[in-house]
Amino acid sequence: MSSHEVARRQPSQPVPAADPILNAQIAQAERVGLEAVARIQGGAFAASVAMQNATMLSRSADAAFKVSPMGEDLYRSILMAYGAFATNEIQRLGLRDGGQR
Protein backbone atom coordinates (compact mmCIF):
# COMPACT_ATOMS: atom_id res chain seq x y z
CA MET A 1 0.00 0.00 0.00
CA SER A 2 1.46 3.33 -0.94
CA SER A 3 1.50 6.23 1.47
CA HIS A 4 -1.02 8.01 -0.77
CA GLU A 5 -3.54 5.22 -0.07
CA VAL A 6 -3.23 5.48 3.72
CA ALA A 7 -4.41 9.07 4.00
CA ARG A 8 -5.42 11.59 1.43
CA ARG A 9 -2.86 14.33 1.40
CA GLN A 10 -1.24 16.84 -0.83
CA PRO A 11 2.41 15.79 -1.14
CA SER A 12 4.87 18.55 -0.44
CA GLN A 13 6.77 19.98 -3.33
CA PRO A 14 10.55 19.82 -3.33
CA VAL A 15 12.29 22.91 -2.04
CA PRO A 16 13.03 25.17 -5.04
CA ALA A 17 16.77 25.31 -4.39
CA ALA A 18 16.82 21.49 -4.59
CA ASP A 19 18.34 21.21 -1.14
CA PRO A 20 18.62 17.43 -0.76
CA ILE A 21 19.08 17.55 3.03
CA LEU A 22 15.99 19.70 3.56
CA ASN A 23 13.98 17.60 1.12
CA ALA A 24 14.99 14.43 3.01
CA GLN A 25 13.94 16.04 6.32
CA ILE A 26 10.57 16.99 4.85
CA ALA A 27 10.06 13.46 3.51
CA GLN A 28 10.93 11.97 6.93
CA ALA A 29 8.51 14.31 8.70
CA GLU A 30 5.73 13.26 6.32
CA ARG A 31 6.59 9.57 6.80
CA VAL A 32 6.29 9.89 10.60
CA GLY A 33 2.88 11.52 10.20
CA LEU A 34 1.67 8.84 7.81
CA GLU A 35 2.80 6.09 10.17
CA ALA A 36 0.84 7.75 12.98
CA VAL A 37 -2.25 7.94 10.76
CA ALA A 38 -1.93 4.24 9.93
CA ARG A 39 -1.71 3.33 13.63
CA ILE A 40 -4.70 5.54 14.47
CA GLN A 41 -6.78 4.02 11.66
CA GLY A 42 -5.76 0.52 12.73
CA GLY A 43 -6.79 1.25 16.31
CA ALA A 44 -10.14 2.65 15.20
CA PHE A 45 -10.80 -0.41 13.06
CA ALA A 46 -9.91 -2.78 15.90
CA ALA A 47 -12.14 -0.83 18.31
CA SER A 48 -15.02 -0.81 15.83
CA VAL A 49 -14.81 -4.58 15.30
CA ALA A 50 -14.62 -5.15 19.06
CA MET A 51 -17.72 -2.97 19.62
CA GLN A 52 -19.67 -4.84 16.93
CA ASN A 53 -18.63 -8.17 18.39
CA ALA A 54 -19.51 -7.08 21.93
CA THR A 55 -22.96 -6.01 20.73
CA MET A 56 -23.48 -9.36 19.00
CA LEU A 57 -22.29 -11.30 22.06
CA SER A 58 -24.47 -9.24 24.39
CA ARG A 59 -27.51 -10.01 22.26
CA SER A 60 -26.54 -13.69 22.27
CA ALA A 61 -26.20 -13.65 26.06
CA ASP A 62 -29.64 -12.07 26.39
CA ALA A 63 -31.15 -14.66 24.03
CA ALA A 64 -29.46 -17.52 25.88
CA PHE A 65 -30.80 -16.19 29.19
CA LYS A 66 -34.35 -16.30 27.81
CA VAL A 67 -33.89 -19.94 26.78
CA SER A 68 -31.91 -21.04 29.81
CA PRO A 69 -31.98 -18.50 32.66
CA MET A 70 -29.83 -20.68 34.94
CA GLY A 71 -26.76 -19.88 32.82
CA GLU A 72 -26.94 -16.08 33.12
CA ASP A 73 -23.80 -15.80 35.25
CA LEU A 74 -21.88 -17.93 32.77
CA TYR A 75 -23.16 -15.93 29.78
CA ARG A 76 -22.15 -12.66 31.42
CA SER A 77 -18.74 -14.10 32.36
CA ILE A 78 -18.11 -15.08 28.75
CA LEU A 79 -19.11 -11.60 27.57
CA MET A 80 -16.85 -9.97 30.17
CA ALA A 81 -13.95 -12.25 29.18
CA TYR A 82 -14.35 -11.19 25.56
CA GLY A 83 -14.45 -7.54 26.63
CA ALA A 84 -11.24 -7.92 28.63
CA PHE A 85 -9.54 -9.76 25.76
CA ALA A 86 -10.56 -7.17 23.17
CA THR A 87 -9.56 -4.30 25.44
CA ASN A 88 -6.12 -5.83 26.02
CA GLU A 89 -5.57 -6.34 22.30
CA ILE A 90 -6.53 -2.75 21.49
CA GLN A 91 -4.28 -1.42 24.24
CA ARG A 92 -1.39 -3.57 22.99
CA LEU A 93 -1.60 -1.86 19.60
CA GLY A 94 -0.15 1.25 21.22
CA LEU A 95 2.53 -0.67 23.09
CA ARG A 96 4.08 -2.54 20.18
CA ASP A 97 7.52 -1.18 19.39
CA GLY A 98 7.00 1.59 21.92
CA GLY A 99 4.02 2.83 19.94
CA GLN A 100 6.10 2.92 16.76
CA ARG A 101 5.83 0.58 13.81
- pLDDT of res. 101: 46
- pLDDT of res. 17: 65
- pLDDT of res. 20: 85
The pTM (predicted TM-score) of the whole model is 0.67
- pLDDT of res. 23: 83
CA distances from 88 to 18, 35, 79, 80, 101 (A): 47, 22, 14, 12, 18
- pLDDT of res. 60: 96
- pLDDT of res. 15: 58
The residue ranges of every structural domain in the chain are 46-101
Low-confidence ranges of the chain (pLDDT < 50): 101
